Amino acid sequence: MRHISARPAFAGNTLLQPAHTKRTRSASRILLGFALLASFSFAAKAQDVFKPAAPVTYTEKYEIYGGASFLNGQAGQNIPKRINMGGGEVMATYFITPRIGPAVDFRYEWGTTPVFPNSFSIPTRPVVYQTIGLVGLQYHAFGNQHFGINYHAFGGVSAGKFDSDLKGIPPAEVGLYTNRVKPMAALGGSLDINRSAHLAVRLSPDIIIEHFGTETREFFSISAGVIYRFGHR
């Protein structure tokens, strides 16, 4: 009796087994399909992400630079303290060869300056401006895939405005220069950290030589920004 009664239960499980097995196999195939699709998608994306970067050749004809700048200076011949000015710089270079090219440079600087003690109703630190236009040469000294080193020598003029906060008072009364346009030179270099074949981050220090007063004086300037190279030979 036990043997006979056990056979229907065993037979029932046998009848159910094929349907369960089919469902399991179908689910496995679906999961395998999704896994294959995901792996193909990941492989395609990885190929784009990890493909070799385009080589940095420094053979482009043109280069444009723009950045924020700092300029140390003096707003009067006899004012004992220097001023720190901030502003911006834009430069464009046309490389005649892969190493050397003429460049045009424009800078605008703004800051506040100390003045001589006085009884006038003016700010204790009036605002002064400099608008600077320079031309010269840029020389590409070294470069690889990661960074480049350049040198430059520029000459031009700076237009200084020193009376914007003086309310009509002559600048000389408080020790400042009068508004004037004077010669200026910038001698320096730059370090370019390449982000791609055409784009780089630049740090550019300068020695500034100016003649606003009765003698030539030297100051320090530095700018940081982005350059873009374009125009293949």
pLDDT in tens, 161-220: 999 999 999 999 999 999 999 999 999 999 999 999 999 999 999 999 999 999 999 999
pLDDT at 24: 59
Please check whether residues 123 and 196 belong to one and the same domain. yes
pLDDT at 10: 45
Please check whether residues 23 and 79 belong to one and the same domain. no
Please check whether residues 187 and 217 belong to one and the same domain. yes
Cβ-contact 168, 116 below 8 angstroms? no
Give 12 or 24, the one with higher predicted confidence.
Answer: 24
pLDDT at 6: 47
Please check whether residues 129 and 38 belong to one and the same domain. no
Please check whether residues 97 and 10 belong to one and the same domain. no
Q: Give 54's pLDDT tier (boundaries 50, 70, 90).
A: confident
Q: How many domains does the chain have?
A: 2
Please check whether residues 133 and 165 belong to one and the same domain. yes
The one-letter amino acid code at 87 reads G
CATH of the domain at 168: 2.40.160.20
Residue numbers of the domain that contains 110: 60-232
Please check whether residues 42 and 89 belong to one and the same domain. no
Cα separation, 228 vs 211, in Å, equals 33
Q: Give 233's pLDDT tier (boundaries 50, 70, 90).
A: confident
Query: Is 61 exposed, middle or buried, given 0-12, 13-18 or 19+ CB atoms closer than 10 A?
Result: middle
Please check whether residues 86 and 111 belong to one and the same domain. yes
pLDDT at 31: 59
Please check whether residues 111 and 181 belong to one and the same domain. yes
Please check whether residues 211 and 140 belong to one and the same domain. yes
Please check whether residues 65 and 47 belong to one and the same domain. no
Please check whether residues 98 and 184 belong to one and the same domain. yes
Cβ-contact 211, 225 below 8 angstroms? no
DSSP strand pairing (83-94 vs 100-112): antiparallel
